[in-house]
Amino acid sequence: MTTMDKASPRDRLLDTAARLFYDEGVSIGVEALCRAAGVSKRSMYQLFDSKDEVLAASLERRRPWYEAQFEPADPDAVTPRERILYVFERLAKASADPGYHGCPYLAVLVELKNPEHPGAAVARAAKERLETAFRSLAERGGARDPELLARQLMLIFDGASARVGARVERLDDGLATATVTTLLDAAGVK
């Protein structure tokens, strides 16, 4: 018996949804999702009102893990500049993994055309959290315009993530970190 077999139907649905939505896109059908999770459609609808709610819940559940990927082991032991660069170093490392399809939150925002979709709301909040973190680090690092720098960093992060996800770019050559270093120098971040 695997760990997945021991998990509750809700956990199996959310874990499977996170994987399938990331690997195949949000248009995956309810039947395929339930089959892969080993959960009946009836059970899914007892737990969630819709597939949209499953998507939103799977994104929310994954967020702490996703954000932890960009935190250094001891955040207080590094400068704001080093913490920002760490995010892009981790992105570069992830980009080398053949299973990496870009930022899952950006992918959902691009795929969903309805900004009111529950999944879009969760994805947008995750992106806003990253921008807020960049702004805070920029302020602490002495950036001349922390708001502008945070927006620029998001543009690089999302652009790099999208290009890697589309398989038109690799970041393991240091392109993103070199670009961010230039930006941090121009902004006066220490």
* Phi-psi region at 102: left, alpha or beta (left = phi > 0; alpha = psi -120 to 50): left
Quote the CA–CA distance of 13 and 76 in Å, as a whole number.
37
116, 142: one domain: yes
pLDDT band at 178 (very low <50, low <70, confident <90, very high): very high
The answer to whether residue 18 sits within a structural domain is yes
Amino acid present at 1: M
pLDDT band at 1 (very low <50, low <70, confident <90, very high): very low
pLDDT above 70 for 2: no
Percent of the chain with pLDDT over 70: 97
For residue 39, give the CATH number of its domain: 1.10.10.60
| Domain assignment of residue 52, given as a range | 3-58
Quote the CA–CA distance of 72 and 140 in Å, as a whole number.
17
Quote the CA–CA distance of 48 and 120 in Å, as a whole number.
17
Beta carbons within 8 Å of 48's beta carbon, 6+ residues apart: 13, 54, 57
For residue 81, give the CATH number of its domain: 1.10.357.10
In this predicted structure, what is the pLDDT of residue 6? 76
49, 82: one domain: no
Distance of CA 114 to the CA centre of its chain: 19
pLDDT band at 7 (very low <50, low <70, confident <90, very high): confident
Question: Is the whole-model pTM more than 0.85?
Answer: yes
32, 114: one domain: no
**Tens digit of each residue's pLDDT (9 = 90 or more) over 46-101:** 999 999 999 999 999 999 999 999 999 999 999 999 999 999 999 999 999 999 99
143, 73: one domain: yes
In this predicted structure, what is the pLDDT of residue 4? 54
Please compute the mean of the pLDDT values over residues 177-181 and round it to a whole number.
97
20, 108: one domain: no
> What are 160's two structure tokens?
């790099």
Q: Position of tokens 């050559």?
A: 173
Do residues 91 and 157 make contact, with C-beta atoms less than 8 angstroms apart? Answer: yes
* Phi-psi region at 24: left, alpha or beta (left = phi > 0; alpha = psi -120 to 50): alpha
Number of domains in the chain: 2
